[in-house]
Amino acid sequence: MKTTRIDIEGPLGSATIRRDGEGVPVGEAFQLEADARDTALNAQVARTLQVYLDGHRGTGLDIDAYRRVIETFED
């Protein structure tokens, strides 16, 4: 079994994380494209999503919640 899509919501919006290079549509503003197998990049993507969806720069625990969702696609 593989997860192919996860929708996440924060106080200021939502994002969809999809498999197979389709990127992460984030609201109407932008799209992130990353390889979830690149663990160093996952932290950066998680920080970007956290700030956009929560509206402020979060703590490590805030960012970790987003990183765990991204890690679902590491396989």
Q: Spell out the domain ranges in the chain.
A: 5-71
CA distances from 54 to 19, 35, 57 (A): 23, 23, 8
Question: What confidence tier does 73 reach under pLDDT thresholds 50, 70, 90?
Answer: confident
Is 50 a residue whose pLDDT tops 90? yes
Q: How confident is the model at residue 17 (pLDDT cuts 50, 70, 90)?
A: confident
pLDDT category of residue 23 using cuts at 50, 70 and 90: low
The torsion defined by the Cα of 58, 12, 17 and 42, in degrees rounded to 10, comes to -20
Q: Quote the pTM value.
A: 0.75
Give the tens place of pLDDT for each residue, 31-40. 777 788 888 8
